[in-house]
Amino acid sequence: MNTLNRNIDLDYVKHTATSRKIAPCEALFATLLSALAEEGLLTQGSVNYIARRMIPAFYTYLKVLGYLGNTSSQSNEIEKFRAILVSVNEALKLGDKVSLEKIDENTIRACFGGSTCRYCPKGVGLAEIQDSVCPFPRLLEGIAELEGVPVRLIHKPTVIKRVGELCCTEYRLGTAIK
């Protein structure tokens, strides 16, 4: 199969590029994830592993570039994680808004990106796959860990799920981590 002859919906791409304000580097990242996933070379599990490997370097860039400076002034784990979520969204422009809510005593739900995400392998990269291959749930977990906020990504059955206009992922808070 000649993959260069893939049928691309030009109107969809124009709409996505303008409504999400996609930069070429964001399109490159999303289409790379898409191509790897469609070829069976990337799954959510492998992207979680890869994200864990890249977190230390990426975290260092965020620190050097002046992001993440607000977390230490927050009073509790939830507010520190909220500051991380906001900072990562500010740095990467994942989407128009983020939210963080406490689900129960030990669980938080972080929502971001979704229909405005600039990196989505499906929405921007045009991946025709069933599952997700999003690096951001694991990336947020690792950055939180390096910032001294102990959280663990919850897999149930997926790590990320579309809820309305946003993509959401859940984390177990530090005291509940075993």
Do residues 84 and 68 lie in contact, with contact meaning Cβ atoms separated by under 8 Å? yes
Q: What is the pLDDT of residue 2?
A: 60
Each residue of 105-138: pLDDT tens digit? Answer: 999 999 999 999 999 999 999 999 999 999 999 9
Q: If pLDDT is split at 50, 70 and 90, which confidence band does 178 have?
A: low
Q: Could you tell me which of 2, 30, 35, 37 has the C-alpha nearest to residue 16?
A: 30
Q: Could you tell me which of 71, 132, 75, 81 has the C-alpha nearest to residue 103?
A: 81
Do residues 102 and 7 lie in contact, with contact meaning Cβ atoms separated by under 8 Å? no
**What gap in Å lies between CA 83 and CA 140, rounded to an integer?**
11
For the CA atoms of 35, 40, 43, 45, the dihedral, rounded to the nearest 10 degrees, stands at -140
In the predicted structure, residue 10 carries a pLDDT above the cut 60? yes
Q: Could you tell me which of 73, 81, 75 has the C-alpha nearest to residue 149?
A: 81
What's the predicted TM-score (pTM) here? 0.91
Q: If pLDDT is split at 50, 70 and 90, which confidence band does 172 have?
A: very high
Domains annotated on the chain, with CATH: 3-176 (3.30.1380)
Helix (H) or strand (E) holding 161: strand 161-163
Each residue of 41-77: pLDDT tens digit? Answer: 999 999 999 999 999 999 999 999 999 987 778 789 9
In the predicted structure, residue 32 carries a pLDDT above the cut 90? yes
